[in-house]
Structure 1
Amino acid sequence: MPAELSTRRKTLAEWERRLLALAPWLLVVSALVRAWTIVTGFGNETIDLYVYWALAPHVLSDDLYQVTSPNSPPDFPLPFTYPPFGALVFLPMTWLPWVVAQWTWRLLSALCLYWMVRVALRHVAGTGWTADAPLWRRRALLWTALLLWMQPVYHTFEFGQINLVLSAIVLGAMLAKNPRLAGAGVGFAAGVKLVPAVSGLYYLAARRFAAALWSVVAFAVSVGLGFAVDPAQAKHYWFSLLGDASRVGPVATAHNQSLRGALSRTFGYDVGMSWPWLVAVVVAAVLTGFALRTAVRSGDALLGVLVVQFFGLLVSPISWDHHWVWVGPLLIWLLHTRGTPWLRRWLLVLWCPVMFLDVIAFQLDRQPTIWTISRPGYLSAIGWAYPALALLTLAGIAFVIGRRAVASRGVTPGLSDVGA
């Protein structure tokens, strides 16, 4: 058995060596192919980016939440759904011609994907990042090439969404040691889009109270700026529109991979905040609490970041499939972190087909419209793909990794240790 394991490790190491040698070229080819599929298909419209580009200037004309995108689908007028501060952030982009804005945003999103990969790898590498920097830099290129094919990443480019940009900011901030930087990154990101506010749970669990306080200050500044520029619209958003999921989109569409979306598809109606949702949220919260304790006790900041982000995706009323770009850093963590190899291996086996095969399109192709809630049982089951795996991952972190947590955290030298 040891001989077989040694042989398998050598084979994996050899495959990794060959792939790393080709990493720059694989990234170029991957980027070109993905760019081609985006610009020759639906992604050429970048329909969500057009909402930001067309509607953000209305923050200066007192009707930000009364207008909809002129590029909306016939059955779904697209409004601006972020706080007024979000419109202010997008405002400079609206000064660019549309095509220039499109490609600028695509390039920025690609750079943010690479940044997320580097930050995650640098964390799992520890001192190995400095000791063998060329190796880890090539791994960053290889991971970026691979993650361009992950469906949440691809759909982020296709729709022109903000997920990669915000996730890169939040990840970099949460792993920063400076409390002001850590807090400001999360606070201002939450000011653009509320979901990153869940990051504060990790600061509290890790007793990073200064970072938590600075995040509250930054968020308060973002809200204040919104009121300063457009008091009436800011008041309308925070006191009338906040929490209105129907304004964001159809809750039960396969695109929505939150607990509420999955439960609504299962029950055949929007469950809202009724007992099924409350029960599911309690389960998610308990698993998150134990998983977060595991991350804090093991000193694994990246794991703590992933735990709270998955919790936010689960309990948010709407978590579009492209919001799940956080699975990218999770895959990096699963492959390169030492300990509980059988759990990491099985989580990789389960997550990869869901992430790299378009299970969302499979469901949408079998529904009359995105507004249809009732559906066959097998489609309801497939519609649990993201949230079910997220709950399973949290449970594994809480009750498997948590039991075997050790004082010191190790890092694998590469692919060869996945089966160790």
Structure 2
Amino acid sequence: MRLRALEGRALAVAPWVFGLSLLGHLAMVAFQTKMTMVDLMVYRNASPELFTGLLYDWRLKEFSDQFALPFTYPPFSALVFVPLSWVPWGVARWFWQLVCLACLWFTTRKSLQLLGSHDPRRAMLWTGLFVWVEPVRTTLNYGQINLVLAALLLGTMVSARNWKRGAGVGIAAGLKLTPAISGLYFLVNRQYKAAVWSIAAFFGTVAVAYAVSPALSNEYWFHLLGDASRVGPVGSAINQSLRGALSRTVGYDIGTGPLFLAAVAVAAVLAGFALRAAVKAKDVLAMVVAVQFLGLLVSPISWSHHWVWAVPALMWLIYSARHRLATATAVAWVLAIGSYLISFLLKAQPSIWIIPRPWYYSALGWVYPAVGLLTLVTIAVVLRDRAKASAQRVEDPVDLLRE
């Protein structure tokens, strides 16, 4: 009752929280010189090189003293970003920030709707708060694409139309390969038509890129694909994948060797239990979160800002789970993304390329993968316990009479 009363008071001021948060962020866009949006600069400035044949030779040297940033996405992604190169940088950065804020609101609202909550104040409240958590904050600061992809995937994967589900996943994978893991959602739900649509949409993006630049398409798909070192430093604290965490623990890049494969197996098993329980419970948001977390865990590189999927995960943990383990996991996520621990660890490392570090920094560098694994366990345990409790109520005639 106290929590409900507290939330009631918070909802009363939700429009103020939402408005002030957005105004505060937009003020930073206007006046904060450290908000370089360096990744957006890569998307925008590199994209015209699609027509010169130099897309993957191009480097952004500004703001990158340790690593001149390359364009690392498929050629189709460069084609999509070309229009941003037609407008001044100031226009591009403001446009992208507004798009990302809209996507954050949509992701929050959609997550709550999937949980049966349709109060717009709740979406406003949480959107205002989420603007200031580390994965969202760094996505906005870097001008990253994560919030756009999350909104695209969450908005389409749960659609009632097979073509829309598949097209969303296929296009997202064409923009950036990692969303391809979303196809697992279709398989566990036996939505095979949607899976076919996703494959068709993905290869459609590949075909469009080949039509524009066959040479660059060949270069990406047959030479650059799978080269994690080109994307960035695997062992840096900002890489919050299992490979990154394990590499920092042992002091060298574990690559795709036995240690990595064992970690992938553990993540896959935990995700399997979570998905099995979610499918039985017909819990759509839990399924989406489990699939996306599996992708983040097993990807060679999952930067901390890729973990914007903590937003729908927190909504599920807070509003759907109603379990002590879920409460503990929610608190762990709040501490992880609200403390800016990754930003601290980034400053503590002498170089993004140096993997060995003191044991306590290595341990702290497990924060997102550890809580991500805990979330998979929580989904499995909470939904299993809920199913058992439901079965017991049905079997107990006394309970039926009481109801």
**TM-score interval (norm. to shorter):** over 0.9
Q: Distance in 2 between matches of 1:356 and 1:318?
A: 22
Amino acid of the structure 1 residue aligned with 2:344: F
Higher relative contact order (CA 8 A, sep 6+): 1
Cα distance change on mapping 1:338 and 1:290 into 2, 3 Å: closer
> Structure 1 residue aligned with 2:74, among 77, 83, 90?
83
**8 A Cα contact 1:86 1:193, kept in partner:** yes
Query: Cα offset for 1:74?
Result: 2.7
**Equivalent residue for 1:216?**
199
Cα distance change on mapping 1:99 and 1:370 into 2, 3 Å: same
In the TM superposition, 1:355-370 aligns within 5 A as: 355-370=337-352
Q: Can you give the 5+ residue segments of structure 2 that lack an aligned partner in the other structure?
A: 391-403
Q: Distance in 1 between matches of 2:92 and 2:32?
A: 18
Q: CA-to-partner distance for each residue in 1:313-349, whole Å, 9 max, x for gaps?
A: 000010000000000011111111154x212111111
**8 A Cα contact 1:44 1:158, kept in partner:** yes
- 1:370 is paired with a residue whose SS is coil
**Equivalent residue for 2:84?**
93
**Equivalent residue for 1:50?**
41
Q: What is the TM-score normalised by the length of structure 1?
A: 0.90
Larger displacement relative to structure 2 (59-68 or 80-89): 59-68
Query: Cα offset for 1:406?
Result: 6.4
**Equivalent residue for 1:3?**
none
Q: What is the aligned residue count? A: 390
Percent identical among aligned pairs is: 50
Q: Distance in 2 between matches of 1:338 and 1:316?
A: 27
Q: Distance in 1 between matches of 2:56 and 2:212?
A: 14
> Structure 2 residue aligned with 1:254, among 237, 252, 255?
237
Indicate whether 1:328 and 2:311 are aligned: yes
Indicate whether 1:310 and 2:293 are aligned: yes
Q: CA-to-partner distance for each residue in 1:59-80, whole Å, 9 max, x for gaps?
A: 1111111111242513211111
Q: Distance in 2 between matches of 1:404 and 1:139?
A: 25
**8 A Cα contact 1:298 1:407, kept in partner:** no
Amino acid of the structure 2 residue aligned with 1:91: V
In the TM superposition, 1:268-283 aligns within 5 A as: 268-283=251-266
Q: CA-to-partner distance for each residue in 1:199-247, whole Å, 9 max, x for gaps?
A: 0111000111111110000000001111110000100000000010100
Amino acid of the structure 2 residue aligned with 1:183: G
**Equivalent residue for 1:349?**
331
**Equivalent residue for 1:380?**
362
Q: CA-to-partner distance for each residue in 1:100-156, whole Å, 9 max, x for gaps?
A: 00000000000000000111111101xx63xxxxxx101010010011111100000
Q: Distance in 1 between matches of 2:179 and 2:389?
A: 29
Q: CA-to-partner distance for each residue in 1:267-315, whole Å, 9 max, x for gaps?
A: 1001001111111000001111111111111101111000000000000
Amino acid of the structure 2 residue aligned with 1:204: L
Q: Distance in 1 between matches of 2:166 and 2:372?
A: 26
**Equivalent residue for 1:12?**
3
**8 A Cα contact 2:281 2:383, kept in partner:** no
Indicate whether 1:242 and 2:225 are aligned: yes
Cα distance change on mapping 1:406 and 1:210 into 2, 3 Å: farther
> Structure 1 residue aligned with 2:371, among 349, 371, 389?
389
Amino acid of the structure 2 residue aligned with 1:33: G
